[in-house]
């Protein structure tokens, strides 16, 4: 049995993709922490590709681990931001349980960022040191 989506199903799919892309653009344009994350990702990619010039090529597994670590931070920060915006909209005043929920979501991003830094250092630092030592 062959699956052939209808025009309406395809239109819904493209519309949902459009909403997701709009959310990503909104995060990049308006959220300072997300901009910092994008900047760190760009630096990581430049360092990773730049190591090739010094004979320190990262293998596919190392790249995959770096992408997973960077993706973990992106997802964590996006969910943290979405939760904060939703809770701020539902409960604009200071409410203890809302503050705790926001703190917990921020903690998830902190943990993801810490793990990514450790992973990045574990993969990149030995290569950087080897590239600049005789």
pLDDT, tens digit, 9 for 90 and up, residues 104-117: 999 999 999 999 99
> Which CATH number among 3.40.50.2000, 1.10.287.3610, 1.10.3720.10, 1.10.1040.10 corresponds to the domain 32-131?
1.10.287.3610
How large is the average pLDDT for residues 51-69? Answer: 95
SS (H, E, C) 7-68: HHHHHHHHHHHHHHHHHHHHHHHHCHHHHHHHHHHHHHHHHHHHHHHHCCCCCHHHHHHHHH
Q: Is 27:79 a contact under the CB 8 Å cutoff?
A: no
Per-residue model confidence (pLDDT) at position 134: 57
pTM: 0.85
Per-residue model confidence (pLDDT) at position 85: 94
Q: CA-to-CA distance for 31 and 34, rounded, in angstroms?
A: 5
Domain boundaries, the chain: 32-131
How large is the average pLDDT for residues 61-74? Answer: 97
């Amino acid at each position: 049995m062959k699956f052939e989506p209808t025009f309406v199903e395809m239109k819904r799919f493209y519309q949902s993709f459009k909403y997701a892309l709009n959310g990503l653009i909104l995060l990049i344009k308006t959220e300072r922490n997300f901009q910092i994350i994008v900047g760190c990702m760009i630096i990581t990619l430049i360092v990773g590709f730049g190591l090739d010039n010094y004979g320190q090529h990262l293998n596919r597994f190392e790249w995959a681990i770096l992408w997973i670590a960077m993706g973990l931070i992106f997802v964590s920060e996006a969910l943290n931001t979405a939760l904060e915006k939703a809770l701020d909209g539902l409960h604009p005043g200071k409410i203890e349980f809302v503050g705790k929920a926001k703190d917990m979501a921020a903690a998830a991003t902190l943990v993801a960022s810490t793990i990514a830094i450790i992973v990045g250092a574990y993969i990149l630092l030995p290569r950087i040191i080897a590239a600049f030592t005789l």
